[in-house]
Amino acid sequence: MAFELPDLPYAHDALADLGMSKETLEYHHDLHHKAYVDNGNKLIEGTEWEDRRLEDIITGTYAAGSVAQNGIFNNASQHWNHTQFWEMMGPGGAAMPSELEKAITESFGSVDKFKADFSAAGAGQFGSGWCWLVKDADGGLKVTKTENGVNPLCFGQTALLGCDVWEHSYYIDFRNKRPVYLSNFLDKLVNWENVAARLG
């Protein structure tokens, strides 16, 4: 089925006071994400993937061990990644639900340790990519990082939280200070209720 650019779940300026400017979201959502949608639709047209679910396209075109992924995968996975990313943030400033805090504490020892591990993964991802809080098949939580558009679906994991560490996600607001962007993301931008709902 054709990819469609989702609307942001909040206004473009809704996160400005929290560290993600209207300009960033206009570039990131309206231009970058739209490009993945448009390019992905062109690439799947007339192929076996044209009528498949987005998640099936991602897992079906991922080439494990490959130095560079193919165009269909790159655009499909980045479309999925960004759709999740918008939903994982919000202007509400909601506290972390108790069930999520309990699960994180059981896996990492404390919320602060999780945040430190998550930030370290994002800061340590060389070049473009993502850092994630995932739930493994055994139910345990862990922090991972992936290059470019690769995501937890490729490894049979459930994405609970993801942060885009491509420069276009933070350069307008934070220039080259990726660690500061990551800290701000965790402290001010995450919609923890959305993350908790993904626990299943």
Annotated binding site for Mn(2+): 28, 82, 164, 168
Give the three-state DSSP class for 68: coil
Binding site: residue ranges?
28, 82, 164, 168
What is the separation of C-alpha 165 from the centre of its chain, rounded to a whole number of angstroms? 9
Instruction: Judge whether 130 and 163 are in contact, CB under 8 Å.
Output: yes
105 Cβ contact partners less than 8 Å away, ≥ 6 residues apart: 111
Backbone angles phi, psi at 68, to 5 degrees: -130, 135
Closest CA to 54 of 3, 7, 88: 3
**C-alpha span between 65 and 106 (Å, rounded):** 32
CB-CB neighbours of 191 under 10 Å: 20
Closest CA to 162 of 77, 55, 64: 77
Copy the structure tokens of residue 164.
């885009």
Report the Cα–Cα distance between both ends of the chain, in Å, rounded: 26
